[in-house]
């Protein structure tokens, strides 16, 4: 049960919100870059504003996803005695930290790709479609899938941590979606119990071929859709 029942809806909300923001940012940067486009034409605070807009967009959506998983767990396992106030605080803390981290990464990626694109000195007719692609649906879908996976994993870890504090132990097991989109990295981890735990209690899996230690998904790669099922002592899967 390590995933959201209505996962697609959460992904679509994030992708849609990033799409709206990206459309505004694309219009802004197209104007600011000028013709011919030059990074020096951008205002000094452009990238700071760009990053903050992404942060502000993702934060409430990641918190919503985190809480959504917790609510689902409580609905399906009414015997669980979660400290809900503590859970909500953990959700807010997670969303704040993760949104900021994702915004930093997305800003750096866009900035680097834009620098490379401008260096190609393309005609404007060729430049602008490539610029638009940096803000397009492919990026938004990738971010949405990755961030939903991460929010669910962290929400799940909070549930497990609270169970541990109640004296209930669980066994984390990695599961893929078992479809044609599963990558070779994750495929080799399918149905494997965790090999150990980091000092903070987060489980890890040692890849059988590379011996790389992976925390819970989406650690192997962006767009990871894997999940972890936690088998409690009474056989219930959380």
The reply to whether 110 falls in a domain is yes
Which of the four pLDDT bands, split at 50, 70 and 90, describes residue 2? low
What is the average per-residue pLDDT within 144-164?
Answer: 94
Question: pLDDT > 90: what percent of the chain?
Answer: 82
The reply to whether 231 falls in a domain is no
Using only C-alpha atoms, the chain has a radius of gyration, in whole angstroms, of 20
Alpha-carbon distances of 210 from 4, 31, 63, 214, rounded to whole Å: 30, 47, 34, 11
The reply to whether 112 falls in a domain is yes
What is the average per-residue pLDDT within 150-163?
Answer: 93
Higher pLDDT, 96 or 231: 96
10-22 residue pLDDT tens? 999 999 999 999 9
Q: Across 44-185, where does the E strand assignment appear?
A: 170-175
pLDDT at 85 over 80: yes
Q: Across 65-109, where does the E strand assignment appear?
A: none
The reply to whether 235 falls in a domain is no
What is the number of structural domains in the chain? 1
pLDDT at 233 over 80: no
The pLDDT value recorded for residue 1 is 56
The reply to whether 207 falls in a domain is no
Distance CA(222)–CA(225), nearest Å, equals: 9
174-214 residue pLDDT tens? 999 888 889 999 999 999 999 999 998 899 999 999 999 99
The reply to whether 129 falls in a domain is yes
The SS3 assignment for 237 reads strand
13-55 residue pLDDT tens? 999 999 999 999 999 999 999 989 999 999 999 999 999 999 9
Domain that holds residue 63: 7-167
The reply to whether 221 falls in a domain is no
The reply to whether 74 falls in a domain is yes
The pLDDT value recorded for residue 202 is 92
């Amino acid at each position: 049960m390590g995933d959201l029942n209505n996962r697609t809806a959460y992904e679509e909300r994030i992708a849609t919100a990033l799409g709206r923001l990206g459309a505004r940012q694309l219009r802004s940067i197209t104007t600011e870059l000028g013709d011919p486009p030059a990074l020096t034409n951008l205002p000094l605070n452009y990238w700071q504003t760009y990053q903050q807009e992404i942060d502000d967009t993702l934060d409430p959506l990641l918190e919503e996803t985190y809480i959504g998983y917790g609510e689902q767990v409580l609905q399906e396992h009414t015997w669980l005695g979660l400290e809900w106030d503590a859970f909500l605080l953990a959700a807010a803390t997670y969303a704040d930290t993760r949104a900021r981290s994702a915004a930093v990464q997305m800003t750096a990626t866009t900035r680097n790709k834009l620098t490379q694109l401008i260096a190609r000195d393309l005609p404007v007719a060729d430049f602008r479609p490539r610029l638009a692609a940096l803000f397009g649906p492919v990026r938004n879908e990738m971010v949405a899938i990755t961030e939903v996976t991460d929010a669910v994993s962290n929400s799940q870890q909070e549930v497990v941590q609270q169970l541990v504090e109640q004296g209930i132990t669980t066994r984390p097991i990695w599961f893929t979606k078992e479809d044609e989109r599963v990558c070779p990295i994750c495929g080799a981890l399918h149905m494997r119990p965790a090999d150990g735990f980091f000092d903070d209690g987060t489980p890890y899996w040692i890849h059988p071929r590379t011996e790389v230690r992976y925390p819970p998904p989406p650690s192997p790669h962006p767009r990871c859709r894997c999940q972890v099922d936690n088998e409690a002592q009474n056989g219930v899967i959380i």
